[in-house]
Structure 1
């Protein structure tokens, strides 16, 4: 878990526990959607990409 946080990838299980506890009325994202959303949040807003 520490390594994932160091590279900006939070734990899916932590997300699921939080979503169920705090937002029980909302659907929980699949792992694939969660991963894609986290990648987009971390890298999606960059401009002037080199590749």
Structure 2
């Protein structure tokens, strides 16, 4: 029989979901999930560093390098 998670485990899970959701709303993905995805599905590729990942997501959000003319400011 599986026991139900205690209150602290449930709180940690909820907190992670809220933080992950907030990061996604401002354009910052989950680096750990990205790195695991690359290792699992692209074993021949090296994942970006955490700083490279942050910059990549930031550039994508603000249209850096985008030739369609989008700019936030």
For normalisation by structure 2, the TM-score amounts to: 0.59
Moved over 6 A (4+): none
For normalisation by structure 1, the TM-score amounts to: 0.81
**Number of residue equivalences:** 49
Computing the radius of gyration from Cα coordinates, the structure with the larger value is 2
Task: Name stretches of at least 5 consecutive residues in structure 2 with no aligned partner.
Answer: 1-19
- Tell me the CA shift for residue 48 of structure 1: 7.0
Q: Which has the higher contact order (CA 8 A, sep 6+)?
A: 1
Task: Name stretches of at least 5 consecutive residues in structure 1 with no aligned partner.
Answer: none
Over the residues paired in the alignment, what is the CA RMSD in angstroms?
Answer: 1.5
Matched, 1:32 2:51: yes
